[in-house]
Amino acid sequence: MPGNDVVHPPDLADRIAVSSLLRQWFGALVGVLLGSLTAIAALLFSVAAVLALTLARILGRWGTPLRRAVDESTLALSELEIRRITRFHGTVHTDAATPRRCRWYLGMRWSIGLLGIGVVLLLMLCLVVAGSMISAWILNGSWGLIENSDRVDGGLVAVAAVPGILLIFVAAVGVAGVGSLDRWFVIQVLGRQSDRLLHQRVAELTSSRDHVVDAIDDERRRIERDLHDGVQQQLIALGMLIGRARRADEPDKVHELLAQAQATSQGAISELREVANRVYPIALDKDGLRAAVETMAERASVPVRLTYELTERLRPAVEAVLYFVISEAVTNAAKHAFPKLLEVNVTHQKFDRALATITDDGPGGADPSGTGLSGLARRVAAVDGTLTVHSPDGGPTVVMASVPCG
pLDDT of residue 280: 66
pLDDT band, very low/low/confident/very high, at 357 (cuts 50, 70, 90): very high
The helix (H) or strand (E) run that includes residue 392 is: none
Residue 287 clears pLDDT 60, i.e. is over it: yes
Beta bridge partners of 357: 345, 400
Closest CA to 183 of 65, 69, 94, 302: 94
d(CA 120, CA 126): 10
Answer yes or no: are the C-beta atoms of 287 and 339 closer than 8 Å: no
Can you tell me the mean pLDDT for 144-151?
A: 51
pLDDT of residue 187: 83
For residues 160 and 55, the model is more confident at 55
For residues 217 and 6, the model is more confident at 217
Can you tell me the mean pLDDT for 184-191?
A: 83
How many C-beta atoms lie closer than 10 Å to residue 268's C-beta? 19
Residue 192 neighbours by CB under 8 Å, 6+ apart: 93, 95, 200
Closest CA to 384 of 317, 327, 302, 333: 317
pLDDT of residue 380: 84
Residue 21 neighbours by CB under 8 Å, 6+ apart: none
The highest-level CATH class for domain 299-404 is: alpha beta
pLDDT of residue 14: 64
The helix (H) or strand (E) run that includes residue 390 is: strand 386-390
Residue 61 clears pLDDT 60, i.e. is over it: yes
Domain locations in the chain as residue ranges: 208-279, 299-404
Rounded to a whole number of angstroms, the CA Rg of the chain reads 34
CA dihedral over 374, 376, 381, 385, signed as positive or negative:
negative
Closest CA to 336 of 305, 307, 306, 371: 371
Length of the chain: 406
This prediction's pTM: 0.47
Backbone angles phi, psi at 44, to 5 degrees: -65, -40
The helix (H) or strand (E) run that includes residue 348 is: strand 342-349
Closest CA to 143 of 124, 167, 159, 166: 159
The number of C-alpha atoms within 13 Å of 179 and in the hemisphere containing its C-beta is: 26
Cα–Cα–Cα angle for 245, 249, 255, rounded to 5 degrees: 45
Residue 193 clears pLDDT 80, i.e. is over it: no
Can you tell me the mean pLDDT for 183-201?
A: 72
Query: Considering only 6-10, 70-74, 176-180, which range has the smallest mean pLDDT?
Result: 6-10
**What is the tens place of the pLDDT at every residue in 116-126?**
998 989 888 88
3-state class (DSSP) for residue 128:
helix
Tell me the average pLDDT of the chain.
79
Residue 22 neighbours by CB under 8 Å, 6+ apart: none
Crossing angle of helices 110-138 and 10-59, rounded to 10°:
140
pLDDT of residue 211: 63
Can you tell me the mean pLDDT for 192-213?
A: 63
